[in-house]
């Protein structure tokens, strides 16, 4: 029921810590969202579900 159309996803780097996979920038149902790495966040959960299903790939950070 809640499956969401995610057309792109890219890791966001953190310039302070140097972490290259600090958050995810994704286009979800046509809207760009910056998504934190948080298990309780519905966008993050759906991105990870689609990644595990092999239907979505998260691109490296710029």
Partner 1 sequence: MALSTIQNNSLADTAVHGYRNLVINGAMVISERYGTAVQSPAPSGYGIDRWATYKSGSGTFSIQQSTDGPSGFSNSALITVTSNSTPSGGDYYIYSHKIEGYNTAQLDWGTSDAKDVTLSFWVKSSVTGTFSGSLRPSPTGYTYVFEYTVSSANTWEYKSINISGATVGTWNSTNGSGVNILFSLGQGTTYATSTVGSWVSGNFHGSTTETDLIATSSATWQVTGVQLEVGSEATPFEHRPFGDELQRCHRYYFKHKADEGNDPILGTASNWSTTGVYSYFQFPVQMRTAPSGSYSAASDFIYYIAGATKTPSSIGLSARVTNYAAEWDISSSGLTAGQAGWMRAANGNAYIEYDAEL
Site membership for partner 1, residue 20 (CB under 8 A): no
Q: Which among 10, 11, 3 is positioned nearest to 53, based on CA atoms?
A: 3
One of 40, 53, 54, 55 touching partner 1 (CB under 8 A)? 40
In the complex, what is the shortest distance from the CB of residue 16 to partner 1, in angstroms, rounded to a whole number?
A: 7
| Range list of β-strands (E), 1-62 | 6-12, 23-28, 31-36
Q: What is the spatial distance between Cα 23 and Cα 44, in angstroms, rounded to a whole number?
A: 9
Q: Which stretches of the chain bind partner 1, using CB under 8 A?
A: 1-2, 4-5, 12, 14-17, 19, 22-23, 25, 29, 31-38, 40-44
């Amino acid at each position: 029921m809640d499956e969401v159309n995610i057309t792109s996803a890219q890791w966001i780097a953190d310039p302070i810590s140097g972490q290259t996979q600090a958050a995810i920038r994704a286009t979800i149902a046509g809207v760009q969202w910056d998504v934190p790495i948080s298990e309780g966040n519905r966008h993050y959960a759906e991105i990870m579900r689609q990644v595990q299903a092999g239907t979505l790939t998260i691109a490296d950070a710029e």
